[in-house]
Structure 1
Amino acid sequence: MFTQILGLSAIPGNEKPPSLHSCSVCGKDFPYASKLQRHLRTHSGERPFPCSMCEKRFPEKGLLMIHERVHTGEKPFPCTFCEKRFASQGELRLHRRTHTGERPYHCSICLKSFSRHWHLKTHLEAMHSEVVAGFTRKKFPCSDCEKSCNSAAELRDHQRTHTGERPFQCSFCDKRFALSGTLVRHERLHTGITPYHCSDCGKTFAQQWTLTTHMRTHTGEKPYSCTQCDKSFVAPGELRRHTRIHTGEKPYTCADCGRHFSLAGTLRNHKRSCTQSKKESDTEDPSASRTTLLPPHI
């Protein structure tokens, strides 16, 4: 079950694929002796390839070559979608998924999909540990508030809400973001990349949630219901705007005249007319409103 949940394929029955070299420790099969030799280092801990610029050692020469680019700054693998470059093909492959929207790792329990294998493992541990053998739910408490996170990565992201840290810089403008995912979605505004496709009408979207909301226009689903009347809506934002009809809330204020509005769009329309009126008032002939003083009668 574990291999199926992680999206890995298993060979039916007890049959093994044809191979010439088997690991005497764990029984894995390899088509070449060189691959078996590299694999054996995972058991022995042997790291025969030292870095000439630091003290790190590696079990494979290829891993050493990739590491040495940290020192040299070499990034020979360019992204075809943006200007970023990477030190290894693996890093480039993972990065490209931020543009293409590819999510090859699927949870067979709730059908969510992920771009990285460790994201799937973290999801399983956090959400399905009760039904997946080998996983135990571990909590990561925040030292600044009462929130508990499901992973160390989630805790790191959460703590930025306290520190205000924004380590992710947009490569096209000056904006910075606390989360890498927010940066990815923002950069699509610059690149115009829309990786999420509607299978019914062909429209494309930059974010998964906008596609999900759009799909409801085809299915007719309206999961967000008003508690004060019988109306329902396809998106939480629509419900929020509708609720102001009942509450009378007007959170948008005109800075020029002080009037309040319940919708941002209504405020935008008002500001056009308000700004125009202000300009006309400023350009009006000052003498028109003055009283003409006549000289005293002689």
Structure 2
Amino acid sequence: APCGHSENEKLPSLHSCSVCGKDFPYASKLQRHLRTHSGERPFPCSMCEKRFPEKGLLMIHERVHTGEKPFPCTFCEKRFASQGELRLHRRTHTGERPYHCSICLKSFSRHWHLKTHLEAMHCEVVAGFSRKKFPCSDCEKSCNSAAELRDHQRTHTGERPFQCSFCDKRFALSGTLVRHERLHTGITPYHCSDCGKTFCAVCGKQFTQKGQLKGHLKVHTGEKPFSCPDCGKSFAHSGAMNRHRLTHTGERPYHCSVCDRSFNQSGRLREHEKIHFGEKFDCPECDKSFTRQTHVRPPPAARRAAPR
């Protein structure tokens, strides 16, 4: 026969879901799938009140209580409770994005990220997708996907299942945890191989040196290790503390080379010296000149054309 099977050969039977029609090669897989419809969770955790639809999921969960993390990352020192978590984590090192949108060519590191993208952005053109809404049972909000709804519901329950491996902080979203842990490691995936600049993973600000990025991260962590010995005020950087101490001593070490004025910060001296040496900006309506372009009023026609 053209298909490779004899007429008397029996093809493997498929087990179909009576709820959604999905086919499975084994009855055991169908049985597990049916629990997604019924909500049945026959496997209880012996250490807390959570229940699970599959024994394997229960085993992974119980490692939360035992602290067991048998799967190490070969790129860094982190360890994980499941192979799935390790596989997803490795993509932060490799940059792998195996799930591709066939419409706009965007790539994603996780399958459900692609699914959410298709539902939210291309539901009208993708066969089998409709703009299904997932309503929250606790408020009036509707979400575009089951994953989005799950994340949203944590704002009601207060659940924070993602714990930082460096400190005691916990987070409701895995993405928030990833960004937070970069504050500890100083490692950022946002590195341009062309210009060599690195980018802050929290706010996107760019730096030419890793040390600058490390110092900048204190803005987000709130770390202020430098204390003023005069008043006890704390600062993130030693330079900021030294500038502050000048307010106690009254010292003005930066002197203008043209006039007698002195300043407690080099930046204020540079701003002042523009009066003597800097570029002048002429006003188009009068004969005055200014050291800052922002002090020059635009002509009336430009002011009328400016958006309000």
TM normalised by structure 1 equals: 0.47
Structure number with greater CO (CA < 8 Å, separation at least 6) is 1
